Amino acid sequence: MATAIASRSQAPVGLIHLSLAVGGFAIGTTEFATMSLLPDMARDLNVDAPTAGHLISAYALGVVVGAPLLAVVGARMARRTLLIVLMGLFAVGNALSAAAPGYGAMMAFRFLSGLPHGAYFGIATLVAASLVDQGRRTRAAARVLLGLTVATIVGVPAANALGQLIGWRSCFVIVAARAALTATLVALFAPRDAADPQASPLRELTALKRRQVWLTLAVGAIGFGGLFAVYTYLADTMLAVTKVPQATVPLALAVFGVGMTAGNLIVPRFADRALLPSAAGVLVWSAVALALWPVAAGHLWSVLVAMLLIGLGGSLGTVLQTRLMDVAGEAQALAAALNHSAFNTANALGPWLGGLAIAAGYGWTSTGWVGAALALAGLAVLAVSWLVDRADRRRR
């Protein structure tokens, strides 16, 4: 299959992966930079910090809704065409976010911006994996997702610094421009594939009949929530607990991005050999790193170490992407897109639970305990998935 698709594209595989990763860079910038700019957005939109946090949830809800919806609706489209359409929609949503006149409009535009997120990553990773051998699929998916992790090193800190300098709206203007660039690169270099004549919305929906698909999605929706519980309130925690100038926040964001990128480079090499053990290892690592956050938040140097360790846990998404390829059968597009619905469910769940802990008076650092509990809960679901998988193999 990889050879067949590659033969219809004159561009090198590495260039195709890079083009797809540019879209990940745009998505990563808007997803994570919005969290880091929440204090500024709250002031400008005349709401408090917990209320401004709902903008994160609105984007995440857009991903949760849009990923399965657009994957099913676009089932009969050529993947190249669908990717271009998705990036066009993403550009429009972020351009509107930059011009939002108030909090209500901003909520609506963040929801719109989130709609193409999951479907883009799902289809892009399928295209990337189709161009390489079976034993390198996780690394191919990681190349696409490297765009997102590199965004946390370069794009997010730059957007945060620029937001402090000339206003948070500039972040969304830049993201819209990057999305338009991605659509252009995909049009130029992505394989000119034909639509699958056997594809249909009904075939994609068969993924929902597979319990391993649901269990894998639950691992991501729960286990990844811990990272977002801490990251969403990182800026507020550093200002209130670490007591550093706001200009220091981009440094912590960049270190977090270094951790995510390192994890996305290292873990897929192990995952291509032992998928489920790699996922379990990442969740255990995350639980320990997040549990250290309440202790680490008091000093800048320990905050940076903690952010590096927590960021390494971001590789879970890539590992679970390959797991879904294995358990989805013929419904690859929907399952791949749903992975990002799951992670943005985590993006809503983690900040919500973290916000509840803060509002209950447990302090800004309580998000670390919330995060550790979520990582361990995700590990428990993964154990159930493994047991079910083993029982099914024995029956066969």
At the topology level of CATH, where does 2-395 sit?
A: Growth Hormone; Chain: A; (1.20.1250)
pTM for this entry: 0.79
Instruction: Please tell me the distance from the alpha carbon of residue 89 to that of residue 335, in angstroms, as a whole number.
Output: 21
Nearest residue to 236 (alpha-carbon basis) of 32, 29, 37, 45: 37
Mean of the per-residue pLDDT values of the chain: 86
Ranges of each domain in the chain: 2-395
The pLDDT value given to residue 196? 67
Print pLDDT tens along the chain (396 aa): 443 344 445 678 888 999 999 999 999 888 878 877 888 888 888 888 778 878 888 888 888 888 888 888 887 788 889 999 999 999 999 999 999 989 999 999 999 999 999 889 889 988 888 888 877 888 888 888 888 888 878 877 787 778 778 888 988 999 999 999 999 999 998 888 766 666 666 677 766 778 899 999 999 999 999 998 998 888 889 999 999 888 888 788 889 889 988 998 899 989 988 889 999 999 999 999 999 999 999 899 999 999 999 999 989 988 998 898 888 777 777 888 888 888 878 877 898 899 899 988 899 999 999 999 999 999 999 999 999 888 877 877
Residue 246 half-sphere exposure toward CB, CA atoms < 13 A: 12
CB 222 within 8 A of CB 374: yes
Find the Cα–Cα–Cα–Cα dihedral 111, 116, 117, 120, rounded to 10°: 180
Q: Which residue has tokens 């059968």?
A: 329
CB 329 within 8 A of CB 206: yes
